[in-house]
Amino acid sequence: MNNCCPSLSAQNIMYLPGVGPRKADVLQKEIHISSWEDMLYYFPYKYIDRSRIFKIREIDGNMPYIQLKGKIRHYEAVGEGHKRRLTAVFGDDTGTVDLVWFQNIKSIQNAYKPGTEYILFGKPAFFNGRINIAHPELETEDRFFNGAVGVQGQYNTTEKMKNAFLHSRAVQRIITTILETLKEPLPETLSGEIVKRAALVSLDEAIRNIHFPASPAALRKAQFRLKFEELFYLQLNILQVTKYREKRFGGFRFAVVGDFFNRFYRENLPFELTDAQKRVVKEIRRDMNSGRQMNRLLQGDVGSGKTLVALLSILIALDNGFQAALMAPTEILANQHFETISHLVAGLGIEVRLLTGSSRKKERNAILPAVQNGDIHLLIGTHALIEDTVVFSGLGLVVVDEQHRFGVAQRAKLWDKNTVPPHVLVMTATPIPRTLAMTFYGDLDVSVIDELPPGRKPVKTIHIYSAKRNNLYHSVRRQLQEGRQVYIVYPLIEESETMDLKNLTAGFETAKEIFPEYRVSMVHGRMKAAEKDAEMQKFVAGETQIMVATTVIEVGVNVPNASVMIIENAERFGLAQLHQLRGRVGRGADQSFCILLTNYELSENTRRRIAIMTETNDGFVIAEEDLKLRGPGDIDGTQQSGIAFNLRIADLAHDGQILTIARDLAREILDDDPALQKPENELLNRQLKKLNLQKQAGWFMIS
């Protein structure tokens, strides 16, 4: 997000002294910088102390980035073709080190002359018994000291940037030139009231100190100001879009809780609802009777009873004379919902049908007219539900399961099935940390089922090293002898797909060899859909006792009899994925186990992941830890499509407190002035339009 004055955004970086057409082209193509404003908002990714210059005798190959002062003694070109490289000996009065460049050899020799004294910056390594520094930055002493020396920012640069001599120090020099050229302080992008209430430094002070910190304290204040502003405008946009949607789109008022709901509650409810389920049903009932369209996210771990809550919501829609639709990402999950719900509503006179890509023409020809004339109350399916041929008589509620697996356009099509948009309930078994929910799903009301149904025992998670797998097999056999079923999951990662498939096939053969008296299924992503479904259904029906699979079983298979989940090479899975896989067991009343098999050699990060899994079953704790370890760009291993923003400095994993302050202040302003039309909000309105988030935020209208 770029937040600066119009004159800066209009100043082409190409005309800045020291840049020119070639470097400007590289900046634009590599890091999307074309104006002075873009450059000022290209922030350092870390800071180092550049006040210290080492002697060569003081350094070794295990140090972080260091600085040396000395001269290039001589160059030597080594190798031929793509293996050609340039080496140099660089020395001071205490010794020498080797320098190496793999590209741009001629330009390097022309730029840096033997016998001239340079300040060198780079990371030392040990190679062939000598200290070696690859692609160092070199500057003459007068240029090095032409700027602040002390705590200095380091800027991300690409290989092509380095080849164009746009290394970190060069980026820093360009920013120095811009700041020295400015005659006036940078104009404010937040109102004086917000600056005062949030105790922020001015924008000018923040920008100068983010690039050239006067002190560690000045750097912290600059970071807070810029993070706050980024998150404030993001939240202001989300909340304004939400208010606009609420005002523009009315909603069906479901005032009746009638026969379908009450009979189901009295006669068919399989078990007493948990307090968490009761709370969520009340929240949904209140939404659907408010006169505005419900847009609610329902979060709950696997097995927490989300489907039952969704069914109760569907029954309210039916009691009010409307139809409902439930859309799932896969045929196996759609089938599972169909079977579960059909069983639950048996005897109530509710017409439930299933429509998927595999539905035969004869079935379609019977279903489509019945949906159109209202004879079918609830239609469950996959993407097939959004086809133009599916026309509802009166669609009042849409339930979307695991919604992050659907694209924006697909969800939007469900809205178009009625002139007044139906109520929307989005379900996910992926616990979403609060900061992400406030951002990715900022326009949805959030309900959380944080309680397991009675009788469910938490899954015991155990970490075992692969070398001790024989003991594990004895325990697994005991479970099989008691009539239980077992999953054995292997990683399948694109870069090594062939090798992974070999491992999976070998695992399948091993399982058959070790447990010859039991039947084994195998499922992986390369199988045809029908073949895959057939193998899964065998396991679901209990015809096979062991399922050897890749992560294709992560979502959608409900086998209460499965009590053991063995995850091979668990070090290759993310936390969220491990938790999702673990959720495949523990669905019955029996004690279940999740076994994490790893090699002995594990990184510190991996050991932390494994430890978290063995310590807790709480999906929200795991999601928060996963966010810290992995960052926010990837939820549940599935990149969120259509995200309308790119955070330059804020970090959702660590800036939750700043996000909360920014959101509360944004909400307060919009409660008083929803369209930002008051004079004191003119700057905010102008800045929000300039940031151009509204155009990109179409997906917020569709969640």
Domain 460-616: CATH superfamily, name plus number: P-loop containing nucleotide triphosphate hydrolases (3.40.50.300)
User: What mean pLDDT do residues 19-38 have?
Assistant: 92
Tell me which of 68-77, 399-408, 589-598 is least confident: 399-408
Inform me whether the pLDDT recorded for 639 exceeds 70. Answer: no
Does the pLDDT value for residue 497 go beyond 80? no
Whether pLDDT at 56 is above 50: yes
What's the rounded mean pLDDT across residues 347-360? Answer: 91
Mean pLDDT over residues 314-331, rounded? Answer: 92
Distance CA 146, CA 150 (A): 12
Specify the length of the chain in residues.
Answer: 703
| Confidence band, pLDDT 50/70/90 cuts, at residue 632 | low
pTM: 0.64
Q: What is the DSSP letter of 531?
A: H
Indicate the burial class of 393 (C-beta count within 10 angstroms; 0-12, 13-18, 19 or more): middle
Determine the pLDDT at residue 644.
43
Given a contact cutoff of 8 angstroms between Cβ atoms, the answer to whether 142 and 119 are in contact is no
Q: What CATH fold (topology level) applies to the domain 259-449? A: Rossmann fold (3.40.50)
Please name the amino acid found at residue 148: A
Q: Is the pLDDT of residue 317 over 70?
A: yes
Judged against a pLDDT cut of 80, whether residue 381 lies above it is answered with: yes
Residue 488, pLDDT score: 92
187-191, 297-301, 418-422, 629-633: which has the minimum mean pLDDT? 629-633
Tell me the pLDDT tens digit for each residue of 442-462: 667 788 887 777 767 888 999
Closest C-alpha among 260, 284, 254 to residue 420: 254
User: pLDDT > 90: what percent of the chain?
Assistant: 39
Catalogue the long-range contacts made by 671-680 (C-beta closer than 8 Å, 24 or more residues apart). 674/240, 674/243, 674/244, 674/247, 676/240, 680/191, 680/193
Instruction: Name the burial class of residue 531, with classes exposed (0-12), middle (13-18) and buried (19+) by CB atoms within 10 angstroms of its CB.
Output: exposed
Find out whether 613 and 571 touch, Cβ atoms under 8 Å: no
Q: Which long-range contacts (CB under 8 A, 24 or more apart) does 193-202 make?
A: 193/680, 194/232, 194/665, 194/684, 197/665, 198/228, 198/661, 198/662, 198/665, 200/224, 200/225, 200/228, 200/229, 201/225
Among 216, 323, 212, 309, smallest CA distance to 269 is for 309
pLDDT above 60 for 695? no
The three-state DSSP-derived secondary structure of 627-646 is HHHHCCCEECCEECCCCCCC
Residue 6 pLDDT exceeds 60 = no
Higher pLDDT, 250 or 442: 250
Q: How confident is the model at residue 701 (pLDDT cuts 50, 70, 90)?
A: very low
- Domain spans, the chain: 67-137, 259-449, 460-616
Residue 555 has a pLDDT of: 53
Q: Mean pLDDT, to the nearest integer, of 38-51?
A: 87
For the cut 50, the answer to whether the pLDDT of residue 640 exceeds it is no
For residues 229 and 690, the model is more confident at: 229
Q: How far is CA 409 from CA 403, 472, 628, in A?
A: 12, 47, 31
- The pLDDT, as a whole number, for residue 333 is 83
* Mean pLDDT value across residues 183-187: 90
Residue 368 in this model has a pLDDT that exceeds 80: yes
User: What would the pLDDT profile of 119-146 be if each residue is shown by its tens digit?
Assistant: 998 889 888 888 999 989 888 877 766 5
Q: Residue 637 pLDDT > 50, yes or no?
A: no
**Which is higher by pLDDT, 547 or 247?**
547
Which residues, including other chains, have CB under 8 Å from residue 106's CB and lie 6 or more apart? none
Q: What confidence tier does 380 reach under pLDDT thresholds 50, 70, 90?
A: very high
Provide mean pLDDT across the span 641-647.
50
Fold match between 259-449 and 460-616?
A: yes
Mean pLDDT over 50-66 rounds to: 82
- Tell whether the model's pLDDT for residue 643 goes beyond 60: no
> Which band of pLDDT confidence, cut at 50, 70 and 90, is reported for residue 614?
very high
The amino acid that residue 146 corresponds to is: N
- Average pLDDT on 375-397 reads 90
Residue-averaged pLDDT of the chain: 84
Q: Which two tokens stand for residue 554?
A: 């992560």
Assign 641 a pLDDT band (cuts: 50, 70, 90): very low
Using 50, 70 and 90 to split pLDDT, how confident is the model at 556?
low
Does the pLDDT at position 636 exceed 50?
A: no
* CATH architecture of the domain with residue range 67-137: Beta Barrel (2.40)
Flag whether pLDDT at 463 surpasses 60. yes
Q: How confident is the model at residue 703 (pLDDT cuts 50, 70, 90)?
A: very low
Please state the rounded mean pLDDT for residues 505-521.
92
Which of 146-155, 244-253, 533-542, 668-677 is predicted with the least confidence, judged by mean pLDDT? 146-155
pLDDT at 434: 67
Q: How confident is residue 68, by pLDDT bands cut at 50, 70 and 90?
A: very high
257 CA to centre of own chain: 38
The confidence score (pLDDT) of residue 631 equals: 58
With residue 353 as reference, give the H or E element that holds it: strand 352-355
pLDDT of residue 561: 87
Tell me which of 629 and 642 has the higher pLDDT: 629
Classified as helix, coil or strand, 106 is: helix
Burial (CB < 10 A; 0-12, 13-18, 19+), residue 362, is: exposed
Give pLDDT tens digits for 164-177.
888 888 999 999 99
Task: Give me the pLDDT at residue 495, please.
Answer: 47
CA–CA gap between residue 678 and residue 590 (Å, rounded): 62
The pLDDT of residue 406 is 52
Angle of helix 331-344 versus helix 529-540 axis, rounded to 10: 40
Residue 437 has pLDDT above 80, yes or no: no
